[in-house]
Amino acid sequence: MEEKELTGKNSETNEKNNRIKKADIILIAAALMIGIIGLIIYSVTRTKGLSVNLYQDGKIVKTFSLDKDAEFDYESDLGKNTIVIKDGKASCIWADCPDKLCVKMSDIENDGETIICLPHKLVIEVTDSDS
């Protein structure tokens, strides 16, 4: 059985690499702190957006106001997405892309928040400028 035939040398070198070290703990703590503090700063400083821009390939193709409820089908060479504005929030409720990640992403309402459909190169972004 291969698993039982650990040679002394190999298990020794493994042993050295395997034990959790102080640097690991510092790394975990630092990474989690950066992420959590960043998210706290983000959630405190965020402001409610006024309108939503629809970007295809980095260019604005459509702008919606967040005040008015709307439903819009966007179609490009890459595929179709259905975008809905409801109660001041924007979401992508339907898409014909394979992964449907844009549909699963949560509703957006704050300045700078985005919904991204990678296969369709589509970005739905909230801005604080008037449409």
Partner 1 sequence: MRKNKQIALRGALIALALVLSYLESFIPVFVFVPGMKIGLANIVTVIALFTLGIKDTVIISLGRIFLSGVLFGNITTIIYSIAGAAVSLLFMILVKRLKIFSVTGISIIGGITHNLGQIMVAAILLSNARIFYYMLILVIAGTFAGIVTGILAKTVMERVDFNKE
User: Which spans of this chain sit near partner 1 (rule: CB under 8 A)?
Assistant: 2-3, 5-7, 10-11, 14, 17-21, 23-24, 27-28, 31-32, 34-36, 38-39, 42, 55, 57-59, 99, 101, 104-105, 112, 114, 116, 118-119, 121, 123, 125
φ/ψ of residue 75, rounded to 5:
-125, 135
User: For residues 66 and 125, which CB has a smaller minimum distance to partner 1 in the complex?
Assistant: 125
**Closer of 55 and 72 to partner 1 (Cβ):** 55
For 26-51, b/e burial (b = at least 16 CB within 10 A) is eeeeeeeeeeeeeeeeeeeeeeebbb
Least distance (Å) from partner 1 to the CB of residue 33?
10
The DSSP bridge partners found for residue 126 are 52
